[in-house]
Structure 1
Amino acid sequence: MAKTGEIAAFALGEKKTAMVNLPAQFVTSSTADMKGQKYSDLVDYADNSEKTSDLNNESITDLIDLKEQFSKRGYANRNSAVTETHPIFGNDKLNYDNHDISVLRKNLDEAQENGNNIHELAFSIRGDWLVKNNLYDPETRMIDQNKLKHAEQSIAKTLINNGFNLPLGEYEDDVVWFGVIHQDTDHLNMHLWFAKRSRETRQEMLKQEGKYKGQPIGVIPLEVIEQAKRQFRKQLMSSQELRRHQEILKCVGGFKKEIVEAAPDNLLNDRHAKAIKQIYDALPQDMKGRWQVGNAQLTAGKGKMAKANQLTNQLLDDLFDKELKPEYEGFKSLAQEYDAINIEDQGVIHKGQRKWSENKEDELRKRLANQLYKHLAQIE
C-alpha cells in the first residue's frame, strides 16, 4: 500500500486488483504491557495541538503492523490521513467528539487491564470500485464517508458476534470498538479496532493448550472474514450495480431450471439408449438405491462410482452439444460474465481456486447425474 502524500488521490485503472482486502491482526495485552504501550495510544483528541505531528508519520505506508501503530501516538486520527475534524467513529456515532474520545480511551485501557486482546481489521478499497459505486469522485476527490462508516458499523457486529466460538461481548457495551477512514494511500483504507472490556473467563473463548494456554483466543476464522467482506461489498454497492448482479444471477438460475426440467425427456430417447445402457452396466450393483455422485466431481477417477460418473459426464457433453445447446450456452455465458464481476470485486483468481462458473457447472452436472441415477435405480 503506497503512501501518496495527498488526500483522496486514489489509484485508478487497477482492474485485476480486489475491490476490498481485509487483513486481520491482533495484539495481546501482555505484549503491549511488556513494551509499555497502551491500547488508548491509538487514538487522540481532535485538538490539532494535541494531534500526532505529520512529521512523525512521513514514513507510514498504512496497514502497518498493529504492534507498530502503538508507537505512533494518535495513529488512527493523524492529520495527514483524515479530512474530518472528528474522524473517529463507533457503534453509536459517525463522528466522536473529545468527550467521546475520552470515554473510548478509558474503555480501551479497561480492556487492556483485564487481559484482553485488541483486534484490527483494515478494509483496503480500490479506487475504481469506489467510482463505479458512486462512493468517490476523482475530480473533486470527495468520498461518501457516511455511507462507508454505516457499512463498517454493520460489519463490526458480524465480526464481534460471529468471529469467535461465542459472541465476544457478554453483555451490552462489553465490547469497545472504533473505526476511521484513511485517505493518504493509493487505496482508501478503513480501519476497525475492537476489544472486549470485561475479563474473559469463558473456557470456549480461551486457549486450552500450548504456549498461550489460558489467554483469550485471537484468530478470527477466514470464513468469517470472507463473510464480512461479502456483506461489506453488498452494503456499499450502488443500486445499479446490485441490479446488474441480481439480473445475471436470476438469468443463470433461469437457464439452470430450463435445463433440469428438459433433461429427462431429452436423455431418455433412442439416441442416448446405448450410452445409458453403458452407464447402467458401470454402476456398482451392490450400491443400488444409493447411487450418488457424492462430493467428487464427475471426472474424478477414484471410487466405485468413477466409471459411471465419467460415462455420465460424456453423455451430458453430448446432450449440451445437441438437444440443449442454446440453454447450456446461455447458462455458461452468463456464469462466465459473473466470473468477470467477481474478478472486479475480489481480484484475479489464484492458482488452485475455482471460478464461480466452474462450481455452478459442477452443481448442474451433479444434479442431472443424480437425477439419472435415481431413474436407473427404479429399473428392474
Structure 2
Amino acid sequence: MQFDPNETAKPNGNIFALPFSQKEAKVVILPVPCEITVSFRDGTSLGPEAILKASPQIDFYDSFFPEAWKVGIFMFPISNKWKKYCNNLRKIAVSCIKHLEKGDPIKNKNLWKKVNEGTEVLADWIEEVAKENISQDKIVGLLGGDHSCPLGLMRALSKKGNFGILTIDAHLDLRKGYEGFLNSHASIMRNASELKGVEKIVNVGARDFCEEEIEFLEKSKGKIMCYSDREISDKLFSGEKWSVMCQEIIADLPKNIYVSFDIDGLNPALCPNTGTPVPGGLEFDQVCFLLRQIVKSGRRIIGFDLCEVSPSKKDDIKSDWNAIVGSRILYQLSILAIGSQDNI
C-alpha cells in the first residue's frame, strides 16, 4: 500500500503509523513496559503503549532533517510476556520498598534476591535483542519503562566500541543499588559507568541528588560530569547564551554518543505524571537545540532511550499530554540519530 505522509494518519501498530517493517527500517525501537524498581509514583510501564497511541498525531516534516523519516522507523510490538514478567516482579519490589519505609529490619533477603535476579534476566533479554539488531546495522532505541531499562542496550553497545553517554535527567542516578535493587532506576548511570566501553557520562539538567552521588561523581575524576539545572539557569539569568553553554557541553562528549533521556529532565509542565518530578527543568526547544548542535558538531548518535513517561490515569491515553510530548521527543531522537550517521 502506498504511503502518503500528507494524508490522515492510519494507526497500523507501528510507531508514528509509519509503514516500515523491522527489515526495512534503519531505527528500531524496543518497548519495555517495566516499572519494577519505581520508588515514588508508578505508571511508567504504560508509557510505551501511551506513546504508541499518541504518535500518529505527528507530522513528519522537520526543517533540520526533512526526509529522515523515509529511512525508516519501526517499533517492535509490546510484549505481553515481558509485561506480565515485569508486573510480577514489581509486586515483590513493592513489598520490599514498603518494608524499608517502615524502618523494619530486613529478615527475608530472598525477596531482594528475586528482584535482582529478575532484573538481570530482563537486561539479558534486552541485550540480546539489541545485539541482534546492531549486527544488522540498525540504530537501536529503547522506550521505557523506568530508567533501569536501558542497561541491556548499553551493554550491547559497549561490546561494539567506546562511546559517551549524554543523559538528560533531573537526577544523577549514581546511587549504589538503591533500596537494595542492583538495577534500580536510581542506579542506571552508576551501572553504566562500570561498562568497559563507556568513556564519558555527561548529565544535563540534574536538580535532585544526594551526597553519595556527588562523592561518586567527584571520585570519577572527570569521567562523569554534570551541568546542573541550577548552573544552567544561573548562567541564563546572568546573560549567558544557551548556544554557548551547548558548545561547552558538546566539548565534553566523544565522537560516538548514546542519548539517555529521562523525561523528568524536562520542565514538569511537559511531563506532569512522571514518577519523580522536580521543579525547574529544561524546555522542549532547549533540548532539541542541544541535540541538533551535537549532530552539527559531527558527533554520531549510536543509540538512545526515552524513559519515565507516565500517562495520566484520567485522560484518554492517546490524547494524554505526557504521551504527546514523549512521542515528539522520541521522533526527534530517531531522526537525529538517523541524520547523525549520514543516512539521508
Structure number with greater Rg is 1
State if a TM-score over 0.5 links the two structures.
no
Whose strand fraction is larger, Structure 1's or Structure 2's? Answer: 2
TM-score normalised by the shorter chain: which range applies? under 0.3
- How high is the TM-score relative to the length of structure 1? 0.23
- How high is the TM-score relative to the length of structure 2? 0.25
